[in-house]
Structure 1
Amino acid sequence: MAVNINIELFKRYAPKKKLEIINALTENELLAITNNTILRIIKEAGRGDSNKTRCKYKTLFLSDAGNNWNSKVTNIYNWKKDEVYLSVYIQGDDTDTYVTYKLRDFLDNRYEEQCLGHIEESFRNGYSHKKPANYNRADRARVIKAILTAYIECKYESKLKGNGKQENDEER
């Protein structure tokens, strides 16, 4: 039975149970996430620039979200008219850069291999080439899993730490 992450994520489960559900999701279930779900994630767990509750633009920082080759998604943020963007760090042989990419295009499942940006590298002999940051379905699923995990860890930070402390006390 396929799990609809757009519904299950916001049900009243314990944070550890939500993490177990996220870790058990298949690639297709992860890629079935909607833009509205991620926008809600950012609004609930993202951090604003001024740390005010009324801050409209928020950022959710990610860890371990990349293509295991030359790039990684460092954070996601919402911008004007609730458009969500990915901030992608691309590293080449002799240079690196940050690019932004729309989440709607990233979630588009029509393409097997998506290019989130590229670096223009040039050498002393005048030869130049573009080094793309390509993401296949497995890489995109890994990024979505990192987004969901960051949401749970940011929103339920105190509950996750509290549960870990109780378990360590019981073992002693």
Structure 2
Amino acid sequence: MIDVNTELFKRTSPVRKIGIIENLKQEELSRISETTILRIVKETGRRIRGTRDYEFYVHPDRRKGNKWNSVIEGLWLYKGKLSVMVYVQFSNTDTSLIVPFNDFFRKGDFKGTIKRDDRYGNLQTYYYVYDEKDKVEVIRSFCLEYINTKYKSKLSNNE
């Protein structure tokens, strides 16, 4: 069994790393720790000028969601706290939200809500749900984005 927390940062070829990440099973991907994700954000994230904060965006082609009404845009490290950027789209509203990392990746399904006015001014509650399988695919997209961002020049030479 592969320990992804160390395998991701080993000195192996980026193509091999991508192959490893794409072939991982759900339980192996669910073992990726928050410290690994934090390292990914700090190494390849975009630093916000004048602060210690980082933004880590996933390329639109690699973004994963719940295959229904939302998609994960990336990660946000603000004042030492890691958060997930979620883009949610409904029939009459679309918005981006910041959800704490630990709340989103807690065991079990994540059930998020948004309260917005509809077109008549009535307050409506909208829901979006991520099950364990969806959350694992989100983690896979973070790892693939890390490899593609960090080793961009090496990957473009191989193509």
- TM-score normalised by structure 2 residue count: 0.89
* Matched letter for residue 97 of structure 1: T
Distance (whole Å) between structure 1 residues aligned to residue 48 and residue 136 of structure 2: 28
For residue 119 of structure 1, report the CA deviation from its aligned partner: 4.5
State yes or no: 1:87 paired with 2:85: yes
Greater helix percent: which structure?
A: 1
For residue 38 of structure 1, report the CA deviation from its aligned partner: 0.4
| Aligned residue in 1 for 2:140 | 145
Runs of 4 or more off by more than 4 Å in structure 1? none
Structure 1 pair 124–103 and aligned structure 2 pair: CA distance change class (3 A):
same
Secondary structure of the 2:91 match is coil
| Aligned residue in 2 for 1:120 | 116
Distance (whole Å) between structure 2 residues aligned to residue 116 and residue 160 of structure 1: 37
Cα-to-partner distance string for 1:93-119 (whole Å, 9 max, x where unaligned): 11111111111222222x2x2124435
**8 Å contact 1:65–1:142 — kept in the other structure?**
yes
**8 Å contact 1:49–1:58 — kept in the other structure?**
yes
Instruction: Pick from 73, 81, 102 the counterpart of residue 104 of structure 1.
Output: 102
RMSD over aligned CA atoms reads 1.9
State yes or no: 1:47 paired with 2:46: yes
Distance (whole Å) between structure 2 residues aligned to residue 76 and residue 102 of structure 1: 10
Distance (whole Å) between structure 2 residues aligned to residue 38 and residue 125 of structure 1: 40
**8 Å contact 1:96–1:119 — kept in the other structure?**
no
| Aligned residue in 2 for 1:61 | 57
How many percent of aligned residue pairs carry the same amino acid? 31
For structure 2, list consecutive stretches of 5 or more residues without a partner in the other structure. Answer: none
For residue 160 of structure 1, report the CA deviation from its aligned partner: 0.6
Distance (whole Å) between structure 2 residues aligned to residue 116 and residue 125 of structure 1: 22
Moved more, 144-153 or 62-71: 62-71
* Matched letter for residue 149 of structure 1: L
Q: Which has the larger radius of gyration?
A: 1
Cα-to-partner distance string for 1:1-27 (whole Å, 9 max, x where unaligned): x32211111111100000000001111
1:157-172 equivalence runs, <5 A: 157-164=152-159
Structure 1 pair 26–158 and aligned structure 2 pair: CA distance change class (3 A):
same
For structure 1, list consecutive stretches of 5 or more residues without a partner in the other structure. Answer: 165-172
Structure 1 pair 160–35 and aligned structure 2 pair: CA distance change class (3 A):
same
| Aligned residue in 2 for 1:154 | 149
- TM-score normalised by structure 1 residue count: 0.83
